Amino acid sequence: MVPVEAYFVLSALLFFIGVFGFITRRNLIAMLISVELVLNAVDINFAAFNRLLFPEGLEGFFMTLFSIGVSAAESAVAIAIIINVYRNFHSDQVNSIENMKF
């Protein structure tokens, strides 16, 4: 059986790839994808912890399901806003949407 540490390492890698992408990417859609990676890391964590550490309950699985649903809603709103940004600025690059700075 795959030990829980393996899942943990996988999710930590995924999480920090997401964080790194969120910080370094200069495209709004790519940033959104990075955020989705972060949320996927969380889903892996919850599912693995529930299955391997606390198999008697279902709380982790429920958390995973709700997190998937909510992140779908979030990305729907985020994409709508990014489309609106594109209509206003004719670009989805972070560098070109900086009307407001310090």
Partner 1 sequence: MDYSQFFNMIPEATLVAILIIVFLADLIMKGEKKVSSLALLMNVLLVVQTAVCLTAEPSSAFGGLYVTGDAVNVMKVILTAGTLIVCIMAQPWLGRADVSNKAGEFYALVASTLLGMYMMMSSGHFLMFFLGLEMASVPMACLVAFDKFRQNSAEGAAKFVLTATFSSGVMLYGISFIYAAAGTLYFDDVAAVIGNTPLAIMGLVFFFSGLGFKISLVPFHFWTADTYQGAPTPVTGYLSVVSKGAAAFALMAILMKVFAPMIEYWEYLLYIVIVLSITIANLFAIRQTELKRFMAFSSISQAGYIMLAVIGGSAMGVAALSYYVLVYVVANMAVFTVINVVETRGNGTTKMNCYDGFYQTNPKLALLMTLALFSLAGIPPFAGMFSKFFVFMAAAQQGSFWAYLVVFVALINTVVSLYYYLLIVKAMYIKNTDTPLPTFSSDCNTKLALTLCTAGIVAFGVFSCVYDWIAGAVL
Nearest approach in angstroms of CB 84 to partner 1 is: 5
Tokens of 71: 């992140």
As a whole number of angstroms, the distance between CA 32 and CA 14 comes to 14
As a whole number of angstroms, the distance between CA 65 and CA 82 comes to 26
Tokens of 6: 């393996």
Task: Name the E strands within 1-102.
Answer: none
Q: Which residues bind partner 1 (CB under 8 A)?
A: 11, 15, 18, 22, 28, 31-32, 35, 38-39, 41-42, 45-46, 49-50, 53-54, 57, 59-60, 62-63, 66-67, 70-71, 73-75, 77-78, 80-82, 84-85, 87-89, 97-102
Residue 1 vs 91, nearer CB to partner 1: 91
Nearest approach in angstroms of CB 9 to partner 1 is: 14
